[in-house]
Amino acid sequence: MRAVVTGGAGFLGSHLCERLLQAEHEVVCVDNFLTSSPENIEHLMGDRRFQFRHRDITEGLDEPGQVDTVFHMASPASPADYLRLPLETLRVGSAGTWHALDLAAAKGARFLLASTSESYGDPLVHPQPESYWGHVNPVGPRSVYDEAKRFGEALTTAYRRSRGVDAKIVRIFNTFGPRMRPDDGRAIPTFIRQALSGEPITVTGDGNQTRSLCYVDDVVEGLLRMLASDHGGPVNLGNPHEVSMLELAQWIGKLTRSRSEITLIPRPQDDPERRRPDISLARELLNWEPTTPVERGLCDTVTYFRRRLSVGECAGSG
Ligand code: NAD
């Protein structure tokens, strides 16, 4: 298989490129480093099956030769990034998805859209099944991401129905692991960075809001299973086990053997109270569920951050 991965230099995209190469596929990674850096793919550059295109997917991609699959991963994903880059986020979710779908249509390739649990907004239903239409504020600060992804889902569905593209949608829930940026503003990198540098660990609100955290390797496995399946989706990929932000901060404090104190700070506007996937469909259609214990994933992530920030070993996952 020859796969195009838009956003392939990002956190999730770089793990996906790695997995595809391990399975002996050819990979064309398309990225403009809007929210990532070349470091994420530096180790892949020597592989002759790996090609890198420094492009903005919103300007289109005229890829020569055969393309069997297009994974559309390009988009700022952390709230800090999409709040800083509102128009770029809307553009890559709309024009970027359009061009990625056009490429798939022109090449007769399969297409997979990396959508998000944010399509559900601040949900009123828990856990969220794919049949839930969501609760989104179209003019709230997070709308640039939520609505861009919802538009991307509509577009993907339209290409499937009207152009016959074998197009698939997965809704990814909070994912973590090595190669997240220490400054990307998401809870896990922020807590780890703060814990390792001895700064206070800042938990928003009262810390009782929950997230479900899935390790990156499990999500990549889900993407590949979705691609290999006959289903168009949307299918949720995430860990149904909920963790409160306070619990997470305490966990990271322990794993890093940090003396940092936990400090409560105000919650951002429209920050969802709970987010938990119903993964019945992924279990049934893809025989998929997360298998990496969160604590083990956190330990690997701490080890990565220690190396990046140049500080000692993880306290262990035992
Ligand atoms: P990331 O920011 O690390 O990666 C996104 C990549 O897309 C970056 O390398 C960035 O430079 C690239 N990019 C952005 N705009 C581009 C453009 N116009 N042209 C070319 N490249 C562009 O984010 P991530 O966490 O790896 O997320 C990857 C995808 O998965 C995103 O589409 C995101 O919405 C989705 N997702 C991620 C999570 C998560 O928890 N990480 C959850 C739900 C959905």
DSSP code per residue over 5-40: EETTTSHHHHHHHHHHHHTT-EEEEEE--SS--GGG
**Mutation probe of ligand 1 site: the residue of 6, 52, 73 with most atoms within 8 A of C-beta:** 73
pLDDT tens profile 199-252: 999 999 999 998 899 999 999 999 999 999 999 999 999 999 999 999 999 999
Report the phi/psi class of residue 257: left, alpha or beta, with left for phi > 0 and alpha for psi in -120 to 50: left
40 within ligand 1 shell (Cβ under 6 A): no
Out of 82, 120, 145, 215, the active site residue is 145
Atom of ligand 1 at shortest distance to CA of 214?
A: 40
Q: Is 97 in the pocket of ligand 1 (CB under 6 A)?
A: no
Which atom in ligand 1 lies closest to the alpha carbon of residue 175? 40
Helix (H) or strand (E) holding 83: helix 79-84
**Global pTM value:** 0.95
Is 82 assigned a catalytic role?
no
Pairing verdict, β 110-116 and 201-204: unpaired
The atom of ligand 1 lying closest to the CA of 12 is 26
Span 74-78, average pLDDT = 97
Residue 76 C-alpha from the chain's centroid: 9
Give the C-alpha separation, 10 to 180, whole Å.
Answer: 8
pLDDT single digits (tens) 276-305: 899 999 999 999 999 999 999 999 999 999
pLDDT tops 80 at residue 130: yes
At 316 the pLDDT is 53
Tell how far the Cα of 22 is from the centroid of ligand 1, in angstroms: 21
Chain mean position to CA 317: 24
Neighbours of 64 (CB within 10 A): 6
Please state the atom number of ligand 1 nearest to the C-alpha of residue 40. Answer: 9
ipTM here: 0.99
Task: Indicate the top mutation candidate among 53, 63, 149, 172 to test ligand 1's pocket, ranked by most ligand atoms within 8 A of CB.
Answer: 172
